[in-house]
Structure 1
């Protein structure tokens, strides 16, 4: 590794928060007297809120993903392709797992990486709450691979139904999708599926359209989109039903099998594809790292984002549990929180090296926005900035929703390249195919 004379800052996890942080650190310190290292098990990054569009085929991830290697060269940090196994706090080292190829051959052995300061930003995973059959039969949308897998299965199901209708006269053939979880991911995916189905007739499936798509959205709580005001969530509920989605609220899933989703009230909902989008927790391995964690495996941090047991280790994003003074709940696991935490972690890493007092993280709720594909965009803006919420919908909401991704691009790439990619994105909307089917 690098010379011990250099300050070594290791960031584990290249999600929105971690990638922004190494970009800031690399731009600030470069390679002269610092060695900034990003440790990430994937080789490319895609913004997690876009995964439902990748899954439905509405977005070509190959055009929107960020290669960590090239990004590292541009911004003055190093990329190490690996997954965290454990932390040796006495030696100030992390140990990464060995990596194997598809044939089971070792590509990279177990590795020890020294750190002066360590930041954990490994994100979150779906919480199935131990529901029987979910791990075996449900699909998840936590990363690019899972989104691609869903898209492949969806296309196969649509082709199968199109063939049955065209060649066997099966007019009642349907693609049945059941989505568990009425948060933003579940709601946005449900709407995006109808958008994709409507476009398939232009891509060789002449007897397939949205009328052959049956989508059921199940939410255990009393309403969908609990992060939004009730009237806005109600509008989304109505819009989904207008599209054809069957929305079931106050409905708890008790188990899944190969063909059905079973609920507490005795229903057995037939489904070709079953998606679990309910609940978020941190990865299980975090509870074995000799750091304080909560029941969701999140690392407990102080308002400075330092862990409670080691001042040299920070955590941010979905994998961190940060209870701020005067609050009764930790900072919610949302993309905007990860972005804001990356800013605070960057500032505090500067301050701790300069011997200055660290600043406490301040969470500013910017509101919540939900895109119902091309059909509608709704949400609330400003949050606690104006002491309340401002409901938005239509073009204003759509502009605000798109602005979130634009801000992400700028945070990851800087102003010049960020705006260049924004302009190219508008061009690509014209020249790209409407759906990615391969």
Structure 2
């Protein structure tokens, strides 16, 4: 959606009481489910239950709140950042999705919570030039679902906020891609060096590094000889190996593949600070970098630690019971990256992955109607289906989960690449429906044949 149309819709929504809330009579008849966050978990819950309840008298209403105007599957953000995927083809605008799936979308960012009154406070929305578009407002709920995601954890490292890019959201990924294309143009026109450094050897950092190499090689194939030779990519990891959550053989194979692509990988390397010229390392040396990306660590946004007394951990994640209800309020659920759930007492919490978010969303889709009726709901059961990491068109690696006949088995190559693709296509089918999701896959295949494979504008 174009910015002018979107801001016009915001102005209409703010001035029209019917669009902002239900009438008093209908509000008294219908229970209200408010979902904060349109990521993997939040959008799947809103879309599935919205379709189930749409057009049925007396069924609950669903309102999805997100500060952005569109959704992108988070494991794909690194491709948007590198420009190897077209953002306009991969995003689902919330307004259109709400219309198709039968829920209501409200633009906004969570600013506060009143558990006694059962209301959430949304911050005011301003235009880039400072104009007020939508004033601060409150939404009432009967059940609240918090799924506002996560962001990279800078661990208080000086200079990260000022000098580093993050790619935790659609907007951040697109902003980095715009800057990257400007730097590439500058390097081409002035024949200067471009050094890129990524902090974080998890899946995001590893996949972004590979996608950047793919971008440079593809750009050279379009008639820009010599550009790739003036660009360097360095990946820094504080731990002893890449992909610490993966089996060791995948970590070793990934390291070898990245180095084969010309990427400099530095493990066991601590970063003390970021500055204009690059990173200051633990030994006091300076690593030069024109573009700096921080993809290390995970924590929930700061708002998670200030929500009317809800229990949180040191990473601002909301602590939940096995039912996914918060420990201090059964009317509030938390799922996905912003929640913390240990499946065993004293055990490690589940990792903040799209796999966990999806499984928790499916659990809530089944149980939320019972919760609205005041009936007991079952505990969430997690199945470790393994993990995948994709190195663009070069390679992919996967490991099977800790159950079944082939538990712990690792694999690579075409099978791993296909498995990675199917994860994304399954997500599209869940939010758009089977047939529309299939059509979107077909459109992507056609575009890959008739359009440039990287963003060149």
In the superposition, the TM-score normalised over structure 1's length comes to 0.95
- Residue 327 (structure 1) shift: 6.4
SS of structure 2 residue aligned to 1:90: coil
The equivalent position to 1:16 in structure 2, one of 40, 48, 53, is 40
Match of 1:205 in 2: 224
The alignment of Structure 1 onto Structure 2 pairs a total of residues equal to 430
Q: State the distance in 1 between where 2:29 and 2:446 align.
A: 47
2:206–2:391 contact (8 Å) kept in structure 1: yes
Aligned pairs (5 A) from 1:104-119: 104-119=130-145
Can you list the C-alpha shifts for 1:33-60, whole angstroms capped at 9, x where unaligned? 2211001111111111111111111000
Q: Is the contact between residue 177 and residue 274 of structure 1 (CA under 8 Å) also seen in structure 2?
A: yes
Q: Which residue of 2 aligns with 1:68?
A: 94
Counterpart for residue 348 of structure 1: 367
Q: Does 1:237 align with 2:263?
A: no
How far 1:203 sits from its partner (Å)?
Answer: 4.3
What is the aligned counterpart of 2:353 among 334, 350, 375? Answer: 334
Instruction: Tell me which of 435, 443, 446 is aligned to 1:427.
Output: 446
Question: How far 1:437 sits from its partner (Å)?
Answer: 2.6
Deviation per CA, 1:366-403, whole angstroms, max 9, x where unpaired? 11111111111112123434473111101111111111
- Selected match of 2:236 from 218, 240, 260: 218
Tell me which moved more, 143-152 or 349-358. Answer: 349-358
| Residues 89 and 444 in structure 2, CA contact (< 8 A), matched pair in contact too | no
Distance 1:186 1:361 in 2: 30
What RMSD in Å do the two structures reach over aligned CA positions? 1.4
Q: What SS does the corresponding residue of 2:238 show, helix, strand or coil?
A: coil
**Separation in 2, partners of 1:104, 1:326:** 48
User: 1:114-166 CA distances to partner (integer Å, 9 max, x unpaired)?
Assistant: 1010000000011000001111111100112211221122222222222233x
* 1:54 equivalenced with 2:73 (yes/no): no
For 2:348 and 2:354, the matched residues in 1 are separated by 17
Which one of 275, 282, 296 corresponds to residue 264 of structure 1?
282
The answer to whether the Cα contact below 8 Å between 2:400 and 2:406 also exists between their aligned partners in 1 is: no
The alpha carbon displacement at 1:4 in A equals 2.3
In structure 1, distance between residues paired with 2:70 and 2:454: 21
Q: Where does structure 2 lack aligned partners over 5 or more consecutive residues?
A: 1-20
8 A contact 1:178–1:218 mirrored in 2: yes
Alignment gaps of 5+ in structure 1: 166-172
User: 1:326 deviation in Å?
Assistant: 5.4
Q: Map 1:234-313 onto structure 2 (within 5 A).
A: 234-290=252-308, 291-313=310-332
| Worse-superposed segment, 362-371 or 332-341 | 362-371
1:29 aligns with 2:53: yes
Shift of the alpha carbon at 1:423? Answer: 2.0
Which residue does the alignment assign to 2:147? 121
Conserved? CA contact 1:253–1:262, under 8 Å: yes
Q: Measure the CA separation in 1 of the matches of 2:320 and 2:248.
A: 32
Q: For the residues of structure 2 that align with 1:228 and 1:163, how far apart are their CA atoms?
A: 41
